[in-house]
């Protein structure tokens, strides 16, 4: 890793292990490894290291604090790989973690470093998914297990009808009985559901997830109605329920259910305003702008992006403001105002260039340079500058981490469409083939619709062998 971004910077020495070993209580060894960096800066280093080895972890300052406090005594397998990559030469024990067999909590675990069994994996509370084995029913299984983080959370899930197999066996009085008090386990379950949905969407697309995610969302809002003992818990639950509404809204959006997406985003916005949460409000407006652009309402897209910018102004995240500026640029492009679009793009690039910040929202891990290039490509496409759009789409596809198949397929689909409109049918067909290669693992109505548009534009060029092969292949999807 480069010196400027080396996640080991600040530790006493990569080769010298801290003397403290694993024990109950604070993890002082891990705290030493963080060095002089803030928890947020260290979390950003963890996310960067994860990307270097093809992992994705939703690490934030809160997670770092929980590790250092000893609440997470043994990380899941994804985090274990990341930490071993960050601190080569150190064992997990030397980083202050306990062996898995010593960690009980929610059931016995295999030893640290052992090959995991998917069916026997314990529920983790650190926001990632273990990927050694992926079953065909991964999506439904993850969403089912996301709320099973403890006894009280499981009871809440059963009572609110989250787990059909349990609800069928439960007495009807139990199924109808409301949860009397919500605590840390239930709030953690909501937050975990948000993280897992995002991770699965990144890898597989929205189509297979959308309907399964609706029940956890209903459960989250039922938990809000149940009440909490502490204000801090209530604030986290409002934020978690709002983020879950946005996640489900995005799944609806990507699956082509625009009105349902609009409803979920409006629900998230209402939750944000009730709770006085500007970060959630900015996120809701950001997604509302994206939806309005895709639905052909550019003026609404523009106004939603501007409202999001106002909400985000005091949050201390240049990257969030950059994304909202790109949403604004998309609105201007849809209105045909090239000058205003260029101004918004320039502002977005300047803000993005400031780099990541400690207060960047956790959900923005997708917003890397590849995404910036993709959003700019869409602006030039809306303005009818197809060659310029194709250049940015190509750059987005080249920059995108291949482990995140959904975004890679999306960027290549944009490239195929822009090339077709720019009068380069052979290149367009080649990009289209690359998208088709990814479709077995990606389920996205939006990507399929983009390919259908590309095929329509390429149809007059069917005498070209490369185009004909693409058209025949796409017709079988």
CA 174 to chain centre: 34
Q: In what helix (H) or strand (E) does residue 350 lie, and over which residues does it extend?
A: helix 338-352
Q: What is the pLDDT of residue 120?
A: 34
| Structural Rg of the chain based on CA atoms | 23
Asked whether the beta carbons of 239 and 273 are under 8 A apart, the reply is no
Written as six digits, the tokens of 95 are 């980083």
Dist CA 242 CA 249 (whole Å): 10
Asked whether the beta carbons of 118 and 126 are under 8 A apart, the reply is no
Q: What is the pLDDT of residue 164?
A: 38
3-state class (DSSP) for residue 182: strand
The values of phi and psi at residue 111, to 5°, are -65, 150
Asked whether the beta carbons of 7 and 86 are under 8 A apart, the reply is yes
Dist CA 323 CA 351 (whole Å): 9
Structure-token match 């190509």, residue found: 394
Dist CA 177 CA 409 (whole Å): 45
What pTM does this model have?
Answer: 0.63
| Backbone angle region of 442, left / alpha / beta, with phi > 0 → left and psi within -120 to 50 → alpha | beta
List the one residue out of 299, 301, 272, 270 whose CA is nearest residue 287: 301
Q: Please state, as a whole number, how many other Cβ atoms lie within 10 Å of the Cβ of residue 84.
A: 17
Q: What is the pLDDT of residue 209?
A: 66
pLDDT along the chain (477 residues), means of 10: 42 40 74 89 87 76 87 83 88 86 46 36 37 35 39 38 37 41 70 71 55 71 68 78 88 86 92 92 96 94 97 95 98 97 98 93 89 97 97 96 86 97 97 93 84 96 96 91
List the one residue out of 179, 196, 99 whose CA is nearest residue 138: 196
Alpha helices in 25-133 (DSSP H): 28-34, 39-52, 61-68, 77-86
Asked whether the beta carbons of 283 and 323 are under 8 A apart, the reply is no
Dist CA 98 CA 24 (whole Å): 8
The values of phi and psi at residue 182, to 5°, are -105, 135
Burial class for 241, CB neighbours closer than 10 Å (0-12, 13-18, 19+): buried
Dist CA 199 CA 343 (whole Å): 33
Asked whether the beta carbons of 41 and 358 are under 8 A apart, the reply is yes
Dist CA 341 CA 278 (whole Å): 26
3-state class (DSSP) for residue 298: helix
Dist CA 37 CA 43 (whole Å): 9
Written as six digits, the tokens of 345 are 């793009």
Burial class for 160, CB neighbours closer than 10 Å (0-12, 13-18, 19+): buried
Dist CA 94 CA 111 (whole Å): 15
């Amino acid at each position: 890793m480069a010196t400027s971004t080396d996640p080991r910077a600040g530790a006493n020495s990569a080769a010298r292990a801290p003397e403290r070993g694993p024990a109950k209580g604070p993890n002082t060894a891990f705290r030493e490894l963080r060095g002089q960096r803030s928890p947020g800066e260290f979390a950003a280093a963890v996310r960067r290291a994860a990307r270097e080895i093809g992992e994705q972890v939703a690490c934030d300052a809160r997670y770092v604090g929980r590790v250092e406090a000893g609440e997470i005594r043994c990380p899941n397998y994804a985090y274990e790989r990341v930490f071993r990559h960050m601190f080569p030469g150190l064992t997990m024990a030397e980083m202050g973690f306990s062996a898995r067999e010593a960690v009980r909590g929610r059931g016995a675990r295999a030893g640290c470093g052992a090959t995991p069994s998917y069916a026997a994996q314990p529920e983790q509370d650190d926001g990632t998914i273990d990927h050694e084995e992926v079953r065909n029913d991964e999506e439904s299984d993850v969403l089912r297990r996301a709320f099973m983080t403890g006894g009280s959370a499981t009871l809440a899930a059963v009572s609110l009808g989250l787990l059909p197999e349990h609800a069928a066996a439960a007495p009807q009085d139990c199924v109808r009985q409301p949860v009397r008090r919500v605590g840390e386990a239930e709030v953690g379950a909501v937050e975990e559901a948000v993280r897992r949905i995002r991770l699965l969407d990144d890898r597989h697309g929205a189509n297979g997830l959308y309907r399964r995610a609706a029940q956890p969302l209903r459960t989250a809002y039922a938990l809000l109605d149940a009440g909490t003992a502490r204000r801090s818990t209530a604030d986290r639950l409002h934020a978690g329920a709002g983020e879950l509404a946005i996640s489900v809204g995005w799944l609806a959006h990507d699956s082509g259910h625009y009105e349902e997406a609009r409803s979920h985003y409006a629900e998230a916005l209402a939750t944000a305003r009730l709770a006085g949460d500007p970060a959630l409000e900015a996120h809701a407006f950001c997604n509302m702008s994206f939806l309005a652009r895709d639905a052909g309402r550019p003026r609404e897209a523009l106004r939603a992006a501007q409202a999001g910018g106002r909400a985000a102004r005091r949050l201390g995240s240049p990257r969030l403001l950059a994304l909202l500026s790109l949403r604004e640029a998309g609105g201007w492009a849809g209105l045909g105002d090239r000058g205003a679009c260029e101004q918004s793009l320039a502002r977005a690039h300047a803000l993005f260039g400031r780099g990541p910040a400690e207060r960047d929202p956790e959900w923005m891990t997708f917003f890397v340079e590849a995404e910036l290039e993709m959003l700019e490509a869409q602006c030039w496409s809306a303005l009818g500058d197809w060659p310029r759009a194709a250049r940015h789409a190509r750059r987005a596809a080249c920059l995108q981490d291949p482990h995140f198949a959904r975004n890679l397929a999306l960027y290549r689909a944009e490239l195929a469409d822009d090339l077709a409109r720019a009068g380069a049918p052979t290149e367009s067909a080649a990009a289209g083939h690359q998208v088709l290669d990814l479709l077995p693992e990606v389920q996205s109505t939006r990507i399929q619709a983009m390919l259908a548009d590309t095929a329509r534009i390429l149809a007059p060029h069917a005498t070209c062998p490369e185009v004909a092969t693409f058209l025949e292949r796409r017709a079988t999807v």
